[in-house]
Amino acid sequence: MPNSPAQPPDVLEALEPAALQANRRGRITGRQLLRLGRAYLWETLSIASVPAGCEIEVAFLVVAVALLVILIPIFLLLTILEWAFGARMEEGPLQKSIERRANVISVGLTKFKRSGRDGDPLQEGARHRIYFTRFSKSLINFERLGRWAPPIDGAN
């Protein structure tokens, strides 16, 4: 039998392999939506959190409750809109940077934010297909593409 050279798989790595089919169709899965909603809620609560070592004053509590009452419905609406309009995709070499204290990934001209846990496995310079939300530009999934990936150790 003739030997053919080993071909790397089309996708070498993905954040959520189970969600790739839905993301390729431009949809966000329920699990991704929950993760996104949890991130929005955590961001809302961190805005209104009490600084450590400070005395709690009535005025601060009133402002914190007002922020929660106003911002939580806004973030929930944003999460629902993200679900309804789905995911967007960009493909190209990946670049990581930090802008205004936020971790940013760029593929081509598109920049979007990433969390440290989700962005760590991404290889800078390697070709990726990135799936992100349309409104908040948050990373929901990625594919590191095999044909542009660096060679695997031991492969000819």
Q: Which of 32, 13, 9 is nearest to 123 (CA)?
A: 13
What are the tens digits of pLDDT across the range 30-61?
A: 898 888 877 777 776 666 565 555 555 666 77
Report the share of the chain in percent with pLDDT over 70. Answer: 72
Give the model's pLDDT for residue 151.
47
| Pairwise pLDDT comparison (132 vs 121), residue with the higher score | 132
Measured CA to CA in angstroms, residue 101 lies from 92, 98, 112, 117, 156 at distances of 24, 6, 13, 16, 42
Q: Report the range of poorest mean pLDDT among 1-15, 17-31, 47-61, 81-95.
A: 47-61
- For the chain, what are the domain ranges? 11-148
- CA neighbours within 13 Å on the CB side: how many for 147? 4
CB contact at 8 A, 18 and 115: no
| Pairwise pLDDT comparison (131 vs 149), residue with the higher score | 131
Compute the C-alpha angle 101/74/104, nearest 5°.
25
- The Cα 140–Cα 156 span in angstroms is 34
> Using 50, 70 and 90 to split pLDDT, how confident is the model at 12?
confident
> What's the rounded mean pLDDT across residues 9-19?
82
Give the model's pLDDT for residue 82.
79
Give the model's pLDDT for residue 56.
58
CB contact at 8 A, 97 and 66: no
> Using 50, 70 and 90 to split pLDDT, how confident is the model at 156?
very low
> Using 50, 70 and 90 to split pLDDT, how confident is the model at 147?
low
Q: What is the pTM of this model?
A: 0.67
Please tell me which of 1-15, 24-38, 133-147 the model is most confident about, judged by mean pLDDT.
24-38
pLDDT at 80 over 50: yes
Give the model's pLDDT for residue 155.
44
